[in-house]
Structure 1
Amino acid sequence: MIEAAKIWNEPNNKSHWDLLIDPDWAMFANLALAAGKAIRSAHPTLPRVLGGISPIDPSFMRSMQARGVLDHVDAVAVHGFPLDWNLWQIGEWPAKIEEIKAVTSLPVWVTEVGVSSFGAEEVQAWGLSRTADLLIGRAPRIHWYSLYDLPSAWEATTRHKEAEGSSYYRHFHMGLLREDGTPKAAAELFGQYAADMGLCQWFHFEDHRLDDAVRWMRRFGVRHLRTGLSWADSFRPNALDWFDRQMDALAEFEITVTFCFTPEHRGLEPHHTSPPLDVNEFADFCAQMVERYCTKTGLASSSGVSPPIREPTCVP
């Protein structure tokens, strides 16, 4: 069940949006506007969430407001990892949310928050409990990042190893489960919070972990899941077969689906972070995915968003 559509991922982070091409986010604003309008045309009530920002920067949100983007989304989102690479302490979480609330009246979701086990699993377990204490009740949606550690064989690409948002070595140790699927200390605690704290888990194309992930999420009692459908992957052979399999497997969860990643041949530069040649192509992809995986009827949910008519229940 899709409960929300998310437009891009960390647009103010140089690992996810090329700030050399678009230093003032004017191109991103055009992309977000086009996507927001396309999603609304495809579905009359599906909540639209602006891509979670990392770092948490009120000036970025003011820029989006000035460019009219916030008129075409129903919530905004933030990401934070203060025990790993942000330049603030974990106890500042409430203040960070208030910084964004001071800029916009839209609901503020926390769609990625996590703690790595790189230093010690006990640190991750403590960080999970402390994060839950600080955030539950303060944000309509909270998504813990992530279920799995990244496989060590995968390449970590980063444009800034020491700045906020780096996907350097700690990024490989963010999961509740190790690479081999065995649980860490934090996994034993997560079930206590699963009713109020969802998960964020990205599934790569034809990801072998999908079925095991579903079993673990059932075991934890997860209700809310954030994942993604990649515009770049949509050009792979049999892409729709994989998208269908992924969305069918996850149908029992309330999904915030993130649309992002520019196909190399459709970017101003051949990279997934590049602004596209034509923002309407990305908007069309968003609309097509919403039409494929959402119905246009349903009952209200608890997402904290109040769309014009009613909130949808979307089913594959």
Structure 2
Amino acid sequence: MIEAAMIWNEPNNKSHWDPEVDPDWSRYADTVSRAGAAIAEANPAVLRVLGGMSPIDPMWLKRMEGHGCLDAVDVVAVHGFPLDWNLWSIHEWPAKLAEIQAVTDKPVWVTEVGVGSFGAEEVQVFGVEKTAELLIGRAPRIFWYSLFDLPQEWGATTRHREAEGSSYYRHFYMGLIRADGTPKPALDSYARVAGEMGLMQWFHYHDPRLDDAVEWMRRLGTRKLRTGLSWADSFRPDAIGWFDRQMEALAEFDVTVTFCFTPEHLGIQPHHSSAAHEPQAFADFCAWAIDRYAPAAAVTPPTTVMA
């Protein structure tokens, strides 16, 4: 079932939200306010999550508060990759959480945390175990990124792709399972904490890995999953058929669904990270998805989220 809806992905990261058309994030704040209201109207029991910030930045969160959009969400979220992309130590995780907890009274979820095997698979083993030690008990939701490696032939959804150098290529090594379907050593480490640390896994349009993901999560004992429904994909042929199949396959898990990615023809700039000309169109997509996949009668408000 859908227990939460996240409004965009890493909006303070220029790979996922365009600072050229929205330098002060006021367009994003308006998008959040509209989408949050639409989600609440469709089903007030679904928790609304502010798009996970990356980098972790309390000043950015205060800016969002100043724009008034935090009234439209129930949870704020952070993303962290200290051994791959962030310029801080993995040991700083408690302090990074505390920075955000100090400036908001809303629960703080870690909706993406990961360590890749780009340099060595042994580093990922350490990363899973240390992350679990530092975060379990400190955040109500933790989602490990990710279950599967991204196949290199698919490409990573970033704005500048290969021009980002090794930062781009690290995207292909974040999974606990290699692109050929074989498990990495870190999968055993994750299995020991799967009941307390969920998974974050993007599924591409008609992703052939969907059924395998479900089987792996059952085997591992994972109960909580974060994934996405792409606004841009909603304009593809048979989009509803794919969305239906994806959400039906994931129905047994507690899902945080992320709504993001602007269709090229609706963006101020023609790319996925652009603000939309009409943010209400994005809010309408969020409302449609909640009404279809989490109708009000089907979702019971969680009792432990505020712990």
Alignment TM-score, normalising by the size of structure 2: 0.96
Verify the 8 A CA contact 2:56 2:78 in the aligned structure 1.
yes
Which residue does the alignment assign to 2:200?
A: 200
Q: How far apart are 1:188 and its partner, in Å?
A: 1.3
CA distance in 2, matches of 1:280, 1:175: 35
Distance 2:260 2:6 in 1: 9
CA distance in 1, matches of 2:233, 2:284: 15
Matched to 1:291, the amino acid is D
Are 2:228 and 2:258, in contact at CA under 8 Å, matched by a contact in 1? yes
Per-residue CA deviation, residues 52-110 of structure 1 (Å, 9 max, x unaligned), is: 00000011100111111111100000000001110100000000011011111000000
How many residues of Structure 1 are paired with residues of Structure 2 in the alignment?
Answer: 304
2: CA distance between counterparts of 1:154 and 1:255? 24
Q: Residue 310 of structure 1 aligns with which residue? A: none
Measure, in 2, the Cα distance between the counterparts of 1:172 and 1:130: 22
- 1:296 positional shift: 1.7
Which residue of structure 2 aligns with residue 120 of structure 1? Answer: 120
In 2: Cα distance, 1:158 partner to 1:268 partner: 15
Change (3 A) 1:234 1:8: same
Instruction: Quote how far apart the aligned CAs of 1:133 are.
Output: 0.3
Residue 44 of structure 1 and its aligned partner are, at CA, apart by 1.9
Q: Deviations over 1:225-263 (max 9, x none)?
A: 000000000001110000000000011100000000000
Letter in 2 for 1:84: D
Amino acid of the residue matched to residue 302 of structure 2? S
User: TM-score with structure 1 length normalisation?
Assistant: 0.93
Query: Following superposition of structure 1 onto structure 2, how do residues 140-151 of structure 1 map, counting pairs within 5 Å?
Result: 140-151=140-151
Return the alpha-carbon distance in structure 2 between the equivalents of residues 12 and 137 of structure 1.
Answer: 26
Structure 1 position 301, deviation (Å)? 2.7
Partners in 2 of 1:305 and 1:132 — Cα distance?
A: 20
CA distance in 1, matches of 2:147, 2:230: 19
Q: CA deviation at 1:141?
A: 0.3
Which residue pairs with 2:302 in the alignment?
301
Q: State the alpha-carbon separation in 2 of the partners of residues 283 and 121 from structure 1.
A: 41
SS at match of 1:84: coil
Aligned counterparts of 1:120 and 1:301: Cα–Cα separation in 2: 39
Residue 303 of structure 1 and its aligned partner are, at CA, apart by 5.1
Quick one: distance in 2 between partners of 1:81 and 1:7? 21
Aligned partner of 2:82 in structure 1 is: 82
Provide, for residues 131-190 of structure 1, a one-character-per-residue CA deviation record: whole Å limited to 9, x for no partner: 000000000100000001010112234448798xx8511111000000011000001121
Matches within 5 A, 1:1-316: 1-156=1-156, 157-159=158-160, 168-297=168-297, 298-302=299-303, 304-305=305-306
Identity %: 63
Could you tell me how far apart the structure 2 residues matched to 1:12 and 1:161 are?
21
Question: Within 2, Cα distance between the matches of 1:148 and 1:90?
Answer: 22
Query: C-alpha displacement at 1:295, in angstroms?
Result: 2.8
Mark the CA change 1:167 to 1:262 in structure 2 (over 3 Å): closer, same or farther. Answer: farther
Deviations 1:205-239 (CA, angstroms, capped at 9, x unpaired): 00010001111111110000000000000001110
- 1:52 aligned partner, one-letter code: G
Cα shift readout 1:264-302 (whole Å, capped 9, x = no counterpart): 000001100000010000000000000000132344435
| In 2: Cα distance, 1:254 partner to 1:272 partner | 27
Aligned alpha-carbon RMSD (Å): 1.6
Amino acid of the structure 1 residue aligned with 2:228: G
Preserved contact between residue 45 and residue 301 of structure 2 (Cα < 8 Å): no
Structure 2 unmatched runs, 5+: none
Gap change, CA 1:159 and 1:108, over 3 Å in 2: same
1:230 and 1:31 mapped to 2: Cα distance? 15
> Does structure 2 retain, via aligned residues, the 8 Å contact 1:47–1:305?
no
- Aligned twin of 1:314: none
Shift of 1:46: 1.2
Task: Give yes or no for contact 1:141–1:303 (8 Å, CA) kept in 2.
Answer: no
| Bigger mean CA deviation after superposition, 126-135 or 289-298 | 289-298
Please identify, of 297-306 and 67-76, the stretch whose mean Cα deviation from structure 2 is larger.
297-306
Query: Could you say what secondary structure the match of 2:153 adopts?
Result: coil
SS of structure 1 residue aligned to 2:152 = coil
Task: Please tell me the residue identity of whatever aligns with 2:205.
Answer: F
User: What is the letter of the counterpart of residue 249 of structure 2?
Assistant: A
Task: Give the structure with the higher percent helix.
Answer: 2
